[in-house]
């Protein structure tokens, strides 16, 4: 005896697969808001001065941008599906020259174009909502 199933039931696994793909794509399109703590160093010949710092960083993989608190967004460079996400300004006149964020460890390194130049090195994490 052969059981015949309606075509709509046979296509059900494909619908579930397509929905899961859509949900995964949507999850990657939401910007990641990160809280980063570390140290900012003033870079110069023999004048490195380090101070504890906090900053917020928004990584938007959909828009391929990184935005450091108080600075304009800069483009993400290279692939976004690897552990290290790199970003860099195409113009040396921008405040944020370049940086990297490790998606696994949260380690971040950002260079700022200031006079003298500054470097932030620390760790980022997803913060809990305050309210």
Least confident of 21-25, 28-32, 118-122: 21-25
> Has residue 47 been placed in a domain?
yes
> Has residue 13 been placed in a domain?
no
Task: State CA 92 to chain mean position distance.
Answer: 21
> Has residue 10 been placed in a domain?
no
106-120-60 Cα angle (round to 5):
50
- Per the structure, how many domains does the chain have? 1
> Has residue 59 been placed in a domain?
yes
Domain with 94, as residue range(s), is 31-125
Residue in 40, 31, 34 with CA at minimum distance from that of residue 109? 40
What percent of the chain shows pLDDT beyond 90?
A: 47
> Has residue 61 been placed in a domain?
yes
What's residue 128's pLDDT? Answer: 85
What's residue 47's pLDDT? Answer: 65
Residue-averaged pLDDT of the chain:
80
pLDDT in tens, 37-76: 999 998 776 666 789 999 999 999 999 999 999 888 999 9
- Model's pTM, two decimal places? 0.73
> Has residue 6 been placed in a domain?
no
> Has residue 21 been placed in a domain?
no
11 or 47, which is more confident: 47
Q: 19: part of which helix (H) or strand (E)?
A: helix 12-29
> Has residue 11 been placed in a domain?
no
């Amino acid at each position: 005896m052969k059981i015949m199933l309606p075509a709509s039931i046979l296509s059900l696994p494909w619908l579930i697969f397509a929905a899961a793909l859509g949900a995964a794509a949507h999850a990657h399109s939401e910007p990641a808001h990160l809280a980063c703590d570390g140290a900012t160093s003033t870079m110069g010949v023999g004048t490195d001065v380090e101070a504890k710092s906090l900053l917020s960083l928004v990584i938007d993989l959909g828009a391929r941008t990184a935005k450091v608190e108080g600075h304009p967004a800069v483009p993400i460079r290279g692939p976004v599906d690897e552990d290290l996400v790199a970003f860099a300004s195409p113009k040396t006149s921008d405040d944020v020259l370049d940086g990297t964020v490790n998606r696994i460890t949260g380690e971040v390194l950002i260079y700022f174009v200031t006079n003298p130049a500054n470097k932030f090195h620390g760790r980022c994490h997803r913060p809990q909502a305050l309210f």
